[in-house]
Amino acid sequence: MQDAARGVTADRPADRHAAVPPVRIFVAGATGVLGSRILPLLTRAGHTVAGMTRSPEKAALVRALGAEPVVCDVYDVATLTSAVERFQPDLLLHELTDLPDTAEELPARRAGNARIRVEGTRNLIDAATASGCSRLFAQSVAWALPPGDGAAAVQALEDAVLGFGGVVLRYGQLYGPGTFYPDSAPGAPRIHVDAAAERTAAVLDQPRGIITIAEHDDRGPAG
């Protein structure tokens, strides 16, 4: 299906069995619930991986997962750009969010998450451009948010990534250990966090556009 406004292939399903040739991958958001599962999949597949975290205490986790730790805040533009230029990635994977540990805390954190989608994404794109990296994959959502700052931030992220020539990864609601739904599945669109990581690692050779990562490629409204 074509997204006429953007001129890109939209909402194609993730290929679960793709073999991605080894490349250098810079993962922003490496210690999050999704990033921490993606890192070992990438390193086991033969990729050379740098994992970015803003917490020095989590550098050891990144190393244990097989990646080179990069301690950096996405809002520190100079340090971020230097780190990406130094690593010289073939591909930058943006899995950054600013989400709380529980769903009850979401209202208080929405502004921060919107900021990371807008400003954080812009800073990552600028760093990729400075380093000569032309491939970008970025996390988005597979359901429609209500009108407001959150929806505007998602739109800004997607427009920026597609304008760069990158790939938007629209994830269903994550469930499983470490998510807001550890013991039961939410309404569609949804995907288990382990499956989401596996399908992300399998689509990193895909061309510019939008890929939905959800169970049965269900794009219905979130419950």
Set out the domains of the chain in order of their start, with CATH numbers. 2-216 (3.40.50.720)
Q: In what order do the strands lie in the sheet with 2-3?
A: 2-3, 8-13, 209-213, 167-171, 136-141, 91-94, 24-28, 48-53, 68-71
Q: Looking at residue 135, what DSSP letter applies?
A: -
Helix, strand or coil, per DSSP, at residue 84: helix
What string of pLDDT tens digits covers the 223 residues of the chain? 334 334 343 455 554 445 678 999 999 999 999 999 999 999 999 999 999 999 999 999 999 999 999 999 999 999 999 999 999 999 999 999 998 888 888 888 889 999 999 999 999 999 999 999 999 999 999 999 999 999 999 999 999 999 999 999 999 999 999 999 999 999 999 999 999 999 999 999 998 999 999 997 444 433 3
Tokens, residue 120: 């954080």
